[in-house]
Chains A and B, each alone.
Chain A
Amino acid sequence: MESRTKLATLTKQASKSAIEKKTFLQKIKTALRKDWQLYALIAGPLIYIFIFRYIPIVGNIIAFRRFSPGGSILGDEWVGFHFFRMFINDASFWNAFKNTFIIGVLTLLFTFPMPIILALLLNEIKALRFKKLVQTISYLPHFLSVVVLVGMIMELTAANGPINQWVEWVTGERILFMQEAGWFRTIFVTSRVWQTTGWGTILYLAALTNIDPTLYEAAKVDGANRWYQTVHVTLPGIMPTIITLLILNVGGVMAVGFEQILLMYNPLTFATADVISTYVFRVGMQANNFSYATAIGLFESIIGITFITSANLIARKLTDRSLW
């Protein structure tokens, strides 16, 4: 008796899934008939993405296979973790690893708080025209090419440049800033702050305008002065934005400004300036060790993905705000 009912339900389920299958096929048919133009529209871009985005991802396989310039794009023979063992024993790699971390953390430490402070200060300016002027000027560096930025750095720090005119006036000597490893990080981080602070205020300013004005009224009634209003109304109001951007920034801490460093550094400053991505560039493009460079690059992107996922996880645990 029992088994018979079981059988009955089983057949019922089977026929039901057959119907579902049929309707699924029909669904595809009707979708194709109705929306073929949409599918046709996206077909080209999908192929583009496959070629220029997915093939390079698969191309990372040459980290595990020996690649020769005339051979297959996916390498010629398996070598396992040979290239990974190679960079683990490579002092230059560890120097680059250390520098990536230091430069990343320093950049985060200085570039992250600055836009918040500037946004809060801008928020206190009631003369709208003046505020607009400050904004327009402070956004400007964001639009410069990194080549132009490095050009400016070189003009400013040159042996006869304006900064050295001050240095000479104070100390009587000139500093060859770009040639000294000890100065590289300072120059790099300062230029990042110069280029990113103004533009970074945009999202905070938007968040500031969304704060409910009645909150300020209530705080005033309670006798809070401007400082207390800032601490108890303004800051909590922009906290979600701060956290979201902090996650993004902490997640990207190892993604240092590769292009800028490549333009700025030189053998004299490798000790402090060489980062993983510039090392990958030299190993791959200048020494032509494609497989070795790919192995290092793959390691770097795995670190990157780990960082962003952990930052997101920690934020979700601590503040119940996260990116996903």
Chain B
Amino acid sequence: MKESTGYKVFKCFNMMIMFLLMVVTMYPFLVVIAQSFSSEAYIVAGDVSIIPRGFNFLTYQAVMGDRMFWINYRNTVVYTVLGTIFSMMITMMIAYVLSKKRLLGRNALLFYVVFTMFVQGGLIPNFVLVSRLNMLNTMWAVVIPGALSIMNVLIMKTFFENIPVELEEAASIDGLSQIGVLLRIILPLSKPIMATMVLFYAVGYWNSWFSAFLYLDQRELFPVTIYLRNLLAGVTGSQNVMAEQSIDNDFRISANIRAVTIILTMLPILTLYPFVQKYFVKGVMLGSVK
């Protein structure tokens, strides 16, 4: 097939745009990586961009030698695992029941659930509730109040609805109870959607910081995102009016420390991402089906 010269020129431009896009996307990562391996003196002098200067592992040793960093890192792992299990359980239970089209009262239940997707309580009423439940400064404050994503319920419900009814009918004739059908028939058939949901929730918990910021004030309970946030707050935040004069000092203390903490915080996501990317894409597509 013949292509016009105009289109050939366009294709060249397009390639260039794509390369530019990749460079722009990767640039911040490269900068942070370079800073994490550089020595302070070069960073302060403004000599580090994407190539490390004064290459060393000392900053990694310093951050990884901090006991609190590991306590917070372990907290993130614990919150992510527990939170994901809890979220998956309630999401699955709601989605399965709502997928039964013949169930009496299904529409009322559906409304009850979906209503909370559009109308939400807001910051202060949530805080008041969590404090009255005596959940402040417990890990439950991070794991439980925000555990449910209605969007995920709807995605999973759609998936369940598309499983042939005949399978379930055959199973119940064979004497399986309804919960048995869920455990033995539906769940094994739903592995792809389950993987997607687990990843959605797990990334959400891993990355979250605000509920911990709101509900926790003991350092031993912080997730690693708060550890990082507190490092960053050395530069911005309320004491910052003074930081204007001393910005160079502040920077000298922690630029590479911050870079290392940034990298260690996102490391699990970066390493897993290439392998699980397709599940995320699948999840987005399923979510778009009305």
Q: Do A and B bind each other?
A: yes
CB B167 to nearest CB in A, in angstroms, measures 17
B238 touches A266 (CB 8 A): yes
Question: A314 in the interface, Cβ–Cβ < 8 Å?
Answer: no
Set of chain B residues within 8 Å of A308, measured between Cβ atoms: 118
Chain A residues with CB under 8 Å of B116's CB are 49, 53-54, 57
Q: A44-B93, A290-B124 are in contact. Are A145 and B265 (CB under 8 A)?
A: yes
What are the residues of chain B within 8 A of A164 when measuring CB–CB? 46
A140 to B269, CA, bound (A): 9
CA distance A85 to B125 in the complex (A): 20
Assuming A48-B148, A49-B113, A268-B244, is B125 touching A144 (CB within 8 A)? no
A147-B232, A266-B240 given; A162·B50 CB < 8 A: yes
Contacts of A121 in B (CB 8 A): 14, 17-18
Are A148 and B284 in contact (CB-based, < 8 A)?
no
Please indicate the chain B residues that have their CB under 8 angstroms from the CB of A52 in the complex: 129, 144-145, 147-148
CB distance from B250 to the nearest CB of A (A): 9
- Residue in contact with A155 in the complex, picked from B105, B123, B145, B262, CB distance below 8 Å: B262
Q: How distant is the Cα of A162 from the Cα of B220 in the complex, in angstroms?
A: 35
Q: Out of A48, A143, A280, which one reaches B90, CB within 8 Å?
A: A48
From residue 142 to 196 of chain A, which have CB atoms closer than 8 A to chain B? 143-148, 150-152, 154-156, 158-162, 164-165, 168, 176, 178-179, 194
A41 to B100: give the CA distance in the assembly, Å.
Answer: 13
Given contacts A148-B266, A162-B50, A293-B124, contact A154 B235 (CB under 8 A): yes
Q: Which of A146, A156, A226, A300 is B28 in contact with, Cβ under 8 Å?
A: A156
Q: Could you say which of A27, A60, A133 has the most chain B C-beta atoms within 10 Å of its C-beta?
A: A60
- Listed by A's residue number, 19 A-B pairs whose Cβ atoms lie within 8 Å are A31-B103, A35-B178, A45-B93, A45-B148, A57-B116, A121-B17, A125-B14, A133-B22, A137-B22, A137-B25, A147-B232, A152-B262, A160-B43, A176-B247, A198-B25, A262-B210, A280-B123, A284-B127, A294-B122
B64 at the binding interface (Cβ < 8 Å): no
In-complex Cβ contact of B225 among A46, A145, A162 (8 A):
A145
The 8 Å CB contact of B285, one of A150, A206, A281, A297, is A206
Enumerate chain A residues within 8 angstroms of B113, measured Cβ to Cβ. Answer: 49
Q: Are B10 and A226 in contact (CB under 8 A)?
A: yes
Once the chains bind, are B104 and A56 in contact (CB under 8 Å)?
no
Residues of B within 8 A of A152 (CB): 28-29, 31-32, 262
Question: Is residue A1 contacting chain B, with contact meaning CB distance below 8 A?
Answer: no
Closest chain-B Cβ to A183's Cβ sits at a distance in Å of 13
Of A48, A194, A227, A305, which is within 8 A of B119 by CB? A305
- Is the Cβ of B262 less than 8 Å from the Cβ of A301? no
Given A59-B121, A281-B123, A161 and B31 contact (CB-CB distance below 8 Å): yes
Which 5 residue pairs are nearest across A and B when measured between Cβ atoms? A56-B121, A59-B125, A145-B207, A31-B104, A297-B122
Q: B244 touching A263 by the CB < 8 A rule?
A: no
B145 CB to nearest chain A CB (Å): 5
Asked if A297 and B124 sit within 8 Å, CB to CB, the answer is yes
Counting chain A CB atoms within 10 Å of each CB, the highest count among B124, B144, B147, B266 belongs to B124
Is A202 in contact with chain B by the CB < 8 A criterion? yes
The chain A residue with its CB closest to the CB of B18 is A134
Query: How big is chain A's contact interface, by range?
Result: 35 or more
Query: With the chains together, A35 CA to B251 CA distance in Å?
Result: 63
* In the complex, A37 has a CB within 8 A of chain B: yes
Partner-binding segment picked from B67-75, B158-166, B188-196, B273-281:
B273-281
Among B96, B122, B277, contact of A298 (Cβ-Cβ < 8 Å): B122
Docked pose: A168 CA to B274 CA in angstroms: 37
Binding site for A on B (CB under 8 A): 4, 6-7, 10-11, 14-15, 17-18, 21-22, 24-26, 28-29, 31-32, 35, 43-46, 48-50, 90, 93-94, 96-98, 100, 103-105, 109, 112-113, 116, 118-129, 132, 144-145, 147-148, 177-179, 182, 203, 206-210, 214, 225, 228-229, 231-232, 235-238, 240-241, 243-244, 247-248, 251, 255, 258-259, 261-262, 265-266, 269-270, 273-274, 277, 280-281, 284-285, 288
Known contacts: A151-B228, A160-B44, A284-B123. The answer to whether A202 contacts B281 by CB under 8 A is yes
Counting CB contacts under 8 A, is A235 at the interface?
no
Q: Which residues of B contact A265 (CB under 8 A)?
A: 236
Most buried by B among A125, A152, A176: A152
Q: Is the CB of A53 within 8 A of B238?
A: no
**Is the Cβ of B90 less than 8 Å from the Cβ of A56?**
no
Q: Give A321 Cβ to nearest chain B Cβ, in Å.
A: 11
Q: Decide yes or no: A225 and B7 within 8 Å by CB, A145-B265, A160-B251 being known contacts.
A: yes
Closest residue to A202 on the B side, CB-wise? B284
A259 is an interface residue with CB less than 8 A from chain B:
yes
Report how far A293 CA is from B121 CA in the complex, Å.
13
